[in-house]
């Protein structure tokens, strides 16, 4: 999302570089006609669905349907056949239909990219494995505001929750 590559909102660190590295990865998934799902944080204009997460990070309430910060960045813009999940929590699985959409397409493994490594990426990975999906994090396609949380969370996810690969190792997950 635009807000997570903008250092004035939620971005900074390596988030823009991670998004740029995702461009050829997205192209490879599209070429193989694999299911692609984007997630956006979207709250109601009046904030009625803003929960405890927004108490901790009040600027999240600004991420409404029409706010440019809540839109998928242009270089990764979804195409017609791709699904966009709207969420109000860090995990793309929590309180969304993502799990059922993936199971309906006989998906049993997910590749996770995005921002932030220590937030939404990690929460999605933990929920993915909890729902018996096999997560792979494409390590140079995830970003965070600072290198410390980014590296620590990559280490921890690899130890307990996910396989980690770099984008230049993508062929290993297509085999």
Does the annotation mark 141 as catalytic? no
Unique residue bearing structure tokens 């570089």: 17
Distance CA 46, CA 50 (A): 9
| Tokens 């600004």 found at | 62
- 120, 126, 138, 165: the catalytic one is 120
Which residues have C-beta within 8 Å of that of residue 109, sequence separation ≥ 6?
Answer: 133, 134, 135, 136, 173
Burial 96-124 (b: 16+ CB within 10 A, else e): bebbeebeeeeeeebbbbbbbbbbbbbbb
Annotated catalytic sites, by residue? 120
């Amino acid at each position: 999302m635009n807000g997570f590559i903008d250092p004035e909102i939620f971005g900074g660190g390596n988030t823009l570089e991670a998004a740029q590295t995702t461009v050829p990865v997205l192209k490879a998934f599209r070429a193989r006609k694999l299911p692609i799902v984007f997630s956006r944080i979207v709250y109601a204009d009046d904030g009625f669905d803003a929960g405890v997460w927004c108490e901790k990070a009040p600027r999240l309430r600004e991420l409404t349907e029409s706010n440019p910060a809540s839109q998928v960045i242009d270089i990764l813009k979804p195409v017609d056949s791709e699904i966009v999940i709207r969420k109000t929590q860090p995990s793309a699985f929590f309180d969304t239909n993502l799990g059922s959409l993936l199971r309906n397409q006989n998906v049993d493994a997910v590749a996770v990219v995005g921002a932030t490594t220590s937030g939404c990426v990690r929460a999605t990975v933990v929920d993915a494995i909890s729902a018996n999906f096999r997560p792979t994090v494409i390590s140079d396609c995830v970003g965070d505001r600072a290198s410390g949380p980014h590296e620590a969370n990559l280490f921890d996810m690899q130890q307990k929750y996910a396989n980690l690969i770099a984008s230049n190792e993508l062929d290993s997950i297509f085999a």
